[in-house]
Amino acid sequence: MRVHGAAASIKVPTVSTSRSNAPVVAVVGSTGAVGQEFLNVLEQRDFPFSNLKLLASARSAGKTAEFKGKKYTIEELTESSFKGVDLGLFSAGGSISKKFAPIASAAGCTVVDNSSAFRMTDGVPLVVPEVNPEAVKGMKLGKGGIIANPNCSTIIMLVPVTPLHRAATVKRMIVSTYQAASGAGYAAMQELEQQTRDVLDGKPAQPKIFKQQYAFNLFSHNSDMYPNGYNQEEMKMVNETTKIWGKGVPICATCVRVPVMRAHAESINLTFEKPLSEKEAEEILRQAPGVSIINDRANNRFPTPLDASHKDDVYVGRIRADLSLDGQKEYGLALFVCGDQLRKGAALNAVQIAELLL
């Protein structure tokens, strides 16, 4: 696969595993947007493997894909697909994961699942390697088990917020997301491109993936709405943060779909138990794994989705004191962050989890 993006900030120790006894890896949903990114990341990071299986639906079976100079035939995903497989990277949707991940685990395949199927399941680790790598302690490839990859918005938020939380303890968080088409897959990206062409040509937009015109528009995230007025994406950020941090923190999230092709942005407001200055926060973030800083006030230059696209780090800027707090009894900062949903928000995070198990 063609490789995109810079090397990630997290470095794993050099693994002595020879290619002959390296794990057998299966990519489930290999033809989708995240599945393709799995292959990019595996190649870029030179993840060790002795054999690779590309699994997808029956309609893709028989097609070929090239990886590291070798052609692989895409196989249909079946209940017998995981015999002899050590690592399964799943990104084929929740219903597929619910059916096949337990089957894979029972066959001895360790599953890293990118869907929401098992994120809140007791006993299933929910992991961001920069945040809670200890959650997979004792697990090994080829020994079964399921590990959940968090929601992309949760990952992009917690990579920069966690080191600040460790320094000053977050007691409240308000976050607004600006989520790209990539979060809804290739079809949504194609719809945004086609609608943009149509509108510029004076033609009506034709919504298919989304219920509303996407080009030159933005709207509430397209996930299900709950009776409390929050959508599913917003509640994922609340509930997943509690599980990952191991404690509940009041979070108010607003998730919005914006007409950007790739990489999500988030505006994050943090209230702390202890004082934390802008300068101290920036220094903490400069030392944090998986974080890059773009914080040039003089030139009004801060992170954008284009900065983060095809990159591994979460980009942080607009680091500033919350002027609505008195700074005497209440302490707060505001941040603006951007991260590539397909990489750190999905494929890269999953591969980093697998690296913890090597």
Q: Which residues are catalytic?
A: 152, 264
In the chain, % of residues over pLDDT 90: 91
pLDDT in the model for residue 14: 38
Q: 10: number of CA atoms within 13 Å, CB side?
A: 22
Average pLDDT, the chain: 93
For residue 215, give the nearest of 202, 228, 234, 233 by alpha carbon: 202
Three-state DSSP class for residue 25? strand
pLDDT at position 9 over 60: no
Strand partners, 278: none
- Tens digit of pLDDT for each residue in 258-299? 999 999 999 999 999 999 999 999 999 999 999 999 999 999
pLDDT at position 153 over 50: yes
CA dist 292 → 130, 168, 283 (Å): 14, 20, 11
- Tens digit of pLDDT for each residue in 29-83? 999 989 999 999 999 999 999 999 999 999 999 999 999 999 999 999 999 999 9
Alpha-helical runs (H) found in 26-117: 33-44, 94-106
The 3-class secondary structure across 233-301, one letter per residue, is HHHHHHHHHHHHHCCCCCEEEEEEECCCCCCEEEEEEEEECCCCCHHHHHHHHHHCCCEEECCECCCCE
pLDDT at position 177 over 80: yes
Burial class (CB in 10 A: 0-12, 13-18, 19+), 266: buried
Three-state DSSP class for residue 35? helix
Domains in the chain (CATH in brackets) are 19-150+345-356 (3.40.50.720), 154-341 (3.30.360.10)
pLDDT in the model for residue 13: 37
pLDDT in the model for residue 329: 84
**CA angle, corner 36, sides to 305 and 310, nearest 5?**
25
3 pLDDT tier (thresholds 50, 70, 90) = very low
